Amino acid sequence: DTAVSQTPKYLVTQMGNDKSIKCEQNLGHDTMYWYKQDSKKFLKIMFSYNNKELIINETVPNRFSPKSPDKAHLNLHINSLELGDSAVYFCASSTSSGRVTDTQYFGPGTRLTVL
């Protein structure tokens, strides 16, 4: 059983479109995250939710909107896609937010290509 899963694995779309990436974790964790890895391989936090409540919102354009229908799911919706949004997006989860000894479990990533 995959602990953290993401769909789709690959997403190719045109500029200006709206798309969503879904994430589910079956670990019973309370906290979920979205990270972005750009073409230079730098990984950066975007958002974090704890029990469906937004707790981290880095300086991300408001075209990106996370939605957490329940604590096992954290979806990422992106409006008006731009070329610079092309990246690999990773979802992660952990038992809590902010506890320094917590381990984060990452999904396999979604490679988004905007043409």
Partner 1 sequence: DAKTTQPNSMESNEEEPVHLPCNHSTISGTDYIHWYRQLPSQGPEYVIHGLTSNVNNRMASLAIAEDRKSSTLILHRATLRDAAVYYCILRDDYNTGKLIFGQGTTLQVKP
Q: Interface residues with partner 1 (CB under 8 A)?
A: 4, 31, 33, 35, 41-45, 48, 55-56, 58, 90, 92, 94, 96-109
Contact status, residue 70 vs residue 52, Cβ threshold 8 Å: yes
The encoded tokens of residue 106 equal 């990452």
Nearer to partner 1, 9 or 16 (CB): 9
Contact status, residue 105 vs residue 27, Cβ threshold 8 Å: yes
The encoded tokens of residue 90 equal 């990773």
- Measured from the CB of residue 80, what is the shortest distance to partner 1 in angstroms? 26
Name the residue type at position 64: F
- Measured from the CB of residue 15, what is the shortest distance to partner 1 in angstroms? 25
- Measured from the CB of residue 102, what is the shortest distance to partner 1 in angstroms? 7
